[in-house]
Amino acid sequence: MSRATTSRTWFLTGASRGLGAHWAEAILARGDRLAATARDKAALASLSERYGDRFLPLQLDVRDSAAVRDAVRSAEVTFGGIDVLVNNAGHMLIGAVEEVEEEQARAQMDVNYFGALWATRAVLPGMRERRAGRILQVSSLGGLVAYPALGIYQASKWALEAMSESLATEVAAYGIHVTLIEPVMFPTGLTAASPQARQDPAYAHARQALYAGAGAGGLTPGDPAATAEALLALVETPEPPIRVLFGTGGLGALRTEYSGRLAGLEQWDHVARLAQGKPSGS
């Protein structure tokens, strides 16, 4: 991977494993500066040894809003500003809605949604002042389609989708671009590293439907390392999209999902009209 002419400063959460680990390597190999976070900073030691003062490792629990602000401030002081924020930290809670415990549901939202929200808010003042910046939110195909046994995980991603779409319109006037990355299927070990809900036999069918649906939907696991090249290409794009799929098979799933939604709404349009009531004065 050749060094690009424009050097950037990145802030990447969840950099110690999965897609984040591949992205951290690619960002630094490109010649850029990187502030990277992990819950255990020791997991980033090898990057510190190889890249020296172009790399700032930060220990961070993204659920702590004050710690997130401090981490962003440290990166800005060290590197003079943040050009690209990548909100990648997250976990995937598998479980039917009734199976998930209250603290598990709150933790899922705290990491996947609020963690991204705190980091986003922390970088915005500097980006607005410089009138430039990229915010990349790592969502999921599950941020656009909901599957059984993933309801709470996908709720966190749907919240991220809505916030980010509104944000994109709010900050466009300042030269800030917001993009939702929608990974389709990659073997990153995310499931094994994530907390799991208790399994109630009453919902065995939901778990079976989840795994059967993934296979029947034509979703083929992609190469996690290849996503790094896609990430860098996305940042080089002058006018990036609000959403982009990483991996194949997602378009077919989305065509089925959205055509089904529209068909259902059209089928029940008579109820929508009933709720509307008669025009005033008629």
Give Cβ neighbours of residue 131 (< 8 Å, ≥ 6 apart). 174, 175
Helix or strand run (H / E) with residue 34? strand 33-38
**Which of 113, 153, 164, 203 is flagged as catalytic?**
153
**Which of 113, 140, 147, 157 is flagged as catalytic?**
157
Asked about 157 being catalytic, the answer comes back as yes
Taking CA atoms, 62 is separated from 91, 122, 145, 168, 238, in Å, by: 12, 12, 25, 22, 29
Q: Which residue has the tokens 């490109």?
A: 30
Q: How far is CA 137 from the centre of its chain?
A: 4
Whole-angstrom distance, CA of residue 79 vs CA of residue 4: 18
> Using an 8 Å Cβ cutoff, are 61 and 67 in contact?
yes
Whole-angstrom distance, CA of residue 119 vs CA of residue 93: 22
**Which of 51, 113, 139, 164 is flagged as catalytic?**
139
Over the Cα atoms of the chain, what is R_g?
20
Angle at 35 between CA 2 and CA 183, to 5 degrees: 70
Asked about 41 being catalytic, the answer comes back as no
Q: Annotated catalytic sites, by residue?
A: 139, 153, 157
